[in-house]
C-alpha cells in the first residue's frame, strides 16, 4: 500500500464545523494538534505515520512550514516529484501554508486534508483529491 492509497482511504472525511468534527479531531489528535486548528499538515503526517508504521522520517505535526523546513534542511526538496511526494503551497513571503500528497503528474493532482472539493481552498472542510498548482515538492526517503 502506498501513501496515496492510504490517503484515499480518508476521502470520506468532512468537517462538522470549522476545523472540527469527530474524524477531523481524530486526525488532529493523532498528530498532537489542537482541536479547531487547520489540519492539512496533521493529515499529511498521519498518512506518513501509517505508511511508515510509526517510523516516518517526518514526525507527526501540525505546521506545513515546519514540514517544509525539515524537508529543506534534509535536502528532500525536488524539482522532479513522483506520486506520493509532498506538495506545498507557498505564499509570496516563501512561507508554506498548505501541504498534501501528490497523486498524479499528468494531470498534476494531489490529495490533502483541510481543503475544498475543487482544491481552491487551503482551509476547506474535507479531505479531497483535486488538481493542484503547487511548484514546491519534497521527496522524503521511503526506505
The string of pLDDT tens digits covering residues 59-97 is 998 899 999 999 999 999 999 999 999 999 999 999 999
Of 27, 14, 16, 114, residue with least CA distance to 64 = 114
Flag residues of the chain having pLDDT under 50: none
Alpha-carbon distances, residue 91 vs 43, 58, 88, 117 (angstroms): 20, 22, 10, 21
Amino acid at each position: 500500500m502506498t501513501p496515496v492509497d492510504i490517503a484515499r482511504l480518508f476521502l470520506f472525511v468532512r468537517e462538522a464545523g470549522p476545523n472540527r468534527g469527530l474524524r477531523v479531531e481524530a486526525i488532529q489528535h493523532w498528530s498532537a494538534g489542537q482541536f479547531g486548528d487547520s489540519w492539512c499538515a496533521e493529515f499529511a503526517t498521519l498518512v506518513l505515520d501509517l505508511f511508515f508504521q510509526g517510523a516516518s522520517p517526518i514526525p507527526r505535526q501540525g505546521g506545513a512550514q515546519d514540514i517544509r523546513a525539515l524537508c529543506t534542511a534534509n535536502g528532500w526538496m525536488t524539482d522532479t516529484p513522483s506520486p506520493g511526494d509532498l506538495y506545498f503551497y507557498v505564499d509570496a513571503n516563501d512561507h508554506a501554508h498548505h501541504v498534501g500528497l501528490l497523486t498524479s503528474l499528468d494531470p498534476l493532482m494531489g490529495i490533502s486534508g483541510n481543503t475544498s472539493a475543487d482544491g481552491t481552498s487551503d482551509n476547506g472542510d474535507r479531505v479531497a483529491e483535486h488538481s493542484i498548482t503547487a511548484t514546491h515538492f519534497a521527496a522524503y526517503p521511503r526506505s
